[in-house]
Amino acid sequence: MTIKHVIAASSAMALLAFPAVAEPTAEVLHWWTSGGEAKSVAVLQEQFKERGGVWTDMPVAGGGGDAAMTALRARVLSGNPPTAVQLKGPAIQEWYEEGVLADISDVAEEQHWGDVLPAQIAEHMKCDGHWCAAPVNVHRVNWIWGNKKILDDNGIAMPTTWEEFNAAAEKLKAAGITPLAHGGQAWQDATVFETVVLGMGGPEFYQKALVDLDMDALGSDTMIKVFDEMRVLRGFVDENYPGRDWNLATAMVMNGEAAFQIMGDWAKGEFLAAGKKPGVDFTCAATPGHGFLYNVDSFAMFDVGDDADKVAGQKLLAELIVAPSFQETFNLNKGSIPVRTDVSLDKFDDCAKLSSKDMNADAKDGSLLPSYAHGMALRGEPAGAITDVVTAHFNSDMTSEEAVKQLQDAVANAM
Ligand code: GAL
């Protein structure tokens, strides 16, 4: 053996002993801290670890993610962003414009995301034509959850119009039952508000008012009626509502302390995590009116330069998130439905099946609409301006006329 051969053999052995394979690592910022949410994100964590990944968890409690987004801003400003972040809708574009997002097109193309995701949803995941976020699920926002026993005992069916809802709530109130479990946090007020806008105004009105920010729609008589209904709803919540977390409001329905909650289907994740069964312990129905407000959770990867471990972690996460097995297990826990069109719903309950059926039907006639309250329809500034007015109105004696005027002014200033 020549000296050249010896060197070649020993360097080959060195390579074998220390293979230059990156160890996938990820620091993941998310706001999934309630019972059902934590159970759901644990699925991703487990699958990541099974594939050799090292997961650093960065949970920031606070439904709707406002606190998580504040934490994200602080981390990015300090030049040290987390590697993967729960981020959605136009906020993805806003961060992309800051030049801090990674391109994950190689994973998306390898895994054929373009073939398995609905076009409208895929659009949210793209920045200037390339893939910059991985979608997790489709949550429907416009749901009413009911305590089955309370409704049966009081001879109440799930309401199909807002008049029916009000009548049922009056009846419950007279019987000494809190009709509506609600948490007085701005994003929860906004969640209820957008379902009323959709229900009372219809899909076209919703699109004009909360997506296109059309001044006539924002200042219309229909919008006055929406605020009137918000005032009526305010009369159906208990006096301890201020500041209450959404999952505690869900627990009130679960425990028979209240009859209804208006909330997206992450609430179903709470019922299920507590062992409650749809159709037996609780009931689901779309909020009165026609249409589907969607809220798609997704993860964006922040630019980590050429750190091989972090890049490997981002690619692995993106691959897992959209893969069929994660989509099924995660969404069974989360209350949402898979975002992929090729995952069977056989194991899913009737609420999920209704969601999927309505989504597909509503996609055909323009009534599949992005949720403004959950950051799918608008950029941060106009969305925040609307929410400020909605919550100011809900928590005061402001008239509907005044609210509508403030709404127009706030939106005009935010554009
Ligand atoms: C939403 C999010 C859901 C759910 C909810 C409450 O904005 O999309 O996944 O977690 O907030 O925290």
- Domain 22-139+295-351, CATH among 3.90.105.20, 3.40.190.10, 3.40.50.620, 3.50.50.60: 3.40.190.10
Q: What pLDDT does 18 receive?
A: 55
Residue 47 CA to residue 45 CA, distance in Å, equals 6
141-294+361-414 CATH fold: D-Maltodextrin-Binding Protein; domain 2 (3.40.190)
Measured in angstroms, how far is the CA atom of residue 357 from the centroid of ligand 1?
22
146: which 2 tokens?
């009911």
User: What is the Cβ-side half-sphere exposure of residue 117, based on CA atoms within 13 angstroms?
Assistant: 28
Return the closest-CA partner of residue 321 out of 121, 88, 137.
137
Per-residue pLDDT tens over the stretch 170-221: 999 999 999 999 999 999 999 999 999 999 999 999 999 999 999 999 999 9
Give the atom of ligand 1 at the shortest distance from the alpha carbon of 336.
9
| Separation in Å, CA 359 to CA 198, 302, 322 | 15, 31, 19
| Structure confidence at residue 2 as a pLDDT band (50, 70, 90) | very low
- Residue 297: CB within 6 Å of ligand 1? yes
The pLDDT tens digits of the residues spanning 65-74 come to: 999 999 999 9
Strand, helix or coil for residue 28: strand
Is residue 32 within 6 Å of ligand 1 at its C-beta?
yes
For position 7, what pLDDT does the model report? 45
Distance between CA atoms of residues 155 and 355, nearest Å? 26
Please give the average per-residue pLDDT across 349-366, as a whole number: 97
What local confidence, expressed as pLDDT, does residue 13 receive? 52
- Site to probe by mutation for ligand 1, drawn from 185, 262, 272, 295 as the one with most ligand atoms within 8 Å of Cβ, is 295
The C-alpha atoms of residue 406 and residue 415 are separated, in whole angstroms, by 14
Read off φ and ψ for residue 297, nearest 5 degrees. -75, 145
Summarize the confidence of residues 293-322 as an average pLDDT: 97
Q: Residue 358 pLDDT > 90, yes or no?
A: yes
User: How many residues are present in the chain?
Assistant: 415
Query: Within 10 A of 109 (CB to CB), how many other CB atoms are there?
Result: 12
268 CB near ligand 1 (under 6 Å): no
Q: What percent of the chain has pLDDT over 70?
A: 95
Please report which confidence band the pLDDT of residue 5 belongs to, taking 50, 70 and 90 as the band edges.
low
Does 11 have pLDDT greater than 60? no
Percent composition of the chain: helix, strand, coil (DSSP 3-state, to 5): 55, 15, 30
Whether pLDDT at 3 is above 70: no
Question: Mean pLDDT for the chain?
Answer: 95
Q: What pLDDT score does 128 carry?
A: 96
Using the mean position of ligand 1's atoms as its centre, give its distance from the Cα of residue 240 in Å. 22
Q: With a cut of 70, say whether residue 19 has pLDDT above it.
A: no
Identify the residue whose C-alpha is closest to ligand 1 atom 1: 64
Q: Which parts of 49-173 are beta strand (E)?
A: 54-59, 84-86, 126-127, 130-131, 133-135, 139-140, 143-147
- Ranges 8-12, 90-94, 214-218, 295-299: which has the least confidence: 8-12
Q: Which of 86, 139, 141, 294 to mutate to test the pocket of ligand 1 (most atoms within 8 A of CB)?
A: 139
Give this prediction's pTM: 0.94
Tally of CB atoms within 10 A around 395: 14
CATH 3.40.190.10 occupies which residues in the chain?
22-139+295-351, 141-294+361-414
76-92 average pLDDT score: 96
Which pLDDT value is given to residue 4?
46
Distance CA 146, CA 262 (A): 9
Classify strands 178-180 and 258-262 as parallel, antiparallel or unpaired.
Answer: parallel
**Does ligand 1 have an atom closer than 6 angstroms to the CB of 295?**
yes
Q: Read off the amino acid at residue 35.
A: G
- Minimal-distance CA residue to ligand 1 atom 8: 297
Nearest CA to ligand 1 atom 11: 64
Give me the pLDDT at residue 308, please: 97
Which residue has the CA at smallest separation from atom 7 of ligand 1? 64
Tell me how far apart the alpha carbons of residues 368 and 120 are, in angstroms, rounded to a whole number.
Answer: 9
Distance CA 287, CA 200 (A): 10
Q: What number does the ligand 1 atom closest to the CA of 246 have?
A: 6
Q: Using pLDDT thresholds of 50, 70 and 90, give the confidence band for residue 344.
A: very high
Ligand 1, atom 12, lies closest to the CA of 63
- Could you tell me the pLDDT band of residue 21, with boundaries at 50, 70 and 90? confident
